[in-house]
Amino acid sequence: MEHPFTWYSLLPYPLSRIAEPNFTALIIALVVIGLALAFRSALQRAKDPVIPDRGITLRNMMEMLVEIVLGLSDSIIGKNGRKYVPLFGTLFIFILIANLSGLIPGVTPPTSSFFVNLGMGLVVFVAYHYFGVRANGAHYIKQFMGPMLMLAPLLFVIELFSHIFRPVSLSIRLFGNMFGDHLVLETFSNLTKLVIPVAFYILGTLVSVIQAAVFTILTVIYVAMAISHEH
């Protein structure tokens, strides 16, 4: 089943050497960087940064997104999780824009490729272990040992596998949702041309936002578990 038409297929030779998911991911990353720079300059240009702009502007939208991610991090980790918010916010905004780009006809979202998602999952994997070691020092290893020293060899293997499969399950979840959603939309657009696919566009918007939120929430929870001092 080949995709009917993508804007990517129109690219000239040197650019078409880049694989499609990589190329779209690159474009989305550039869009995210552009948004961040525009937001920064809008904050600097404002007379009083505390007073929000009037109406719907880029600054208001970005502040809303930041508020959502900040609220999420505060409600799960607490106030001392604020230094990890840049990671969560970057993931959330990147995945959200990447997912929503799939709604443009002729664009395959980069998150419907497994390896783009695996890249993000591995970043999360490395990041939360790093945060855990930085917060707990050598005691971080105790999280893998379980409550008793006798059970440690058994539990260490179990914990190891559960940690290894975290990035894999994160990326398969995002990949399956976006790929399946795109496939459903494509199949129904081929079956019925006019009104019916709109329902699947609504479903696609819903899935895009929810999956971006789920990826971010799981990242926040993994970081919260890694930096906790409970064990």
Partner 1 sequence: MRKLLSFVAAAVVGVFTSGIALAAAEAAAPAAGDYSRAALAIATGFAIAIGAFGAALGQGRMAAAAMESIGRNPNAADRIQLPMILGLAFIEALALYAFVIAFLLQGKI
Q: Which of 47, 186, 48, 41 is nearest to 107 (CA)?
A: 186
Q: Which is nearer to partner 1, 155 or 184 (CB)?
A: 184
Cα angle at 178 between 188 and 118, to 5 degrees?
155
Least distance in Å: CB of 81 to partner 1? 15
Least distance in Å: CB of 71 to partner 1? 10
Q: Quote the CA–CA distance of 185 and 189 in Å, as a whole number.
A: 6
Count H helices and E strands in the chain, helices first: 7, 0
Q: Which is nearer to partner 1, 36 or 218 (CB)?
A: 218
Q: Which is nearer to partner 1, 29 or 65 (CB)?
A: 65
Least distance in Å: CB of 117 to partner 1? 12
Least distance in Å: CB of 176 to partner 1? 3
Q: Which is nearer to partner 1, 111 or 177 (CB)?
A: 177
Per CB under 8 A, residues contacting partner 1 are: 75, 169, 172-173, 175-177, 179-180, 210-211, 213-214, 217-218, 221
Q: Quote the CA–CA distance of 186 and 189 in Å, as a whole number.
A: 5
Check: CB of residue 84 under 8 Å from CB of residue 15: no
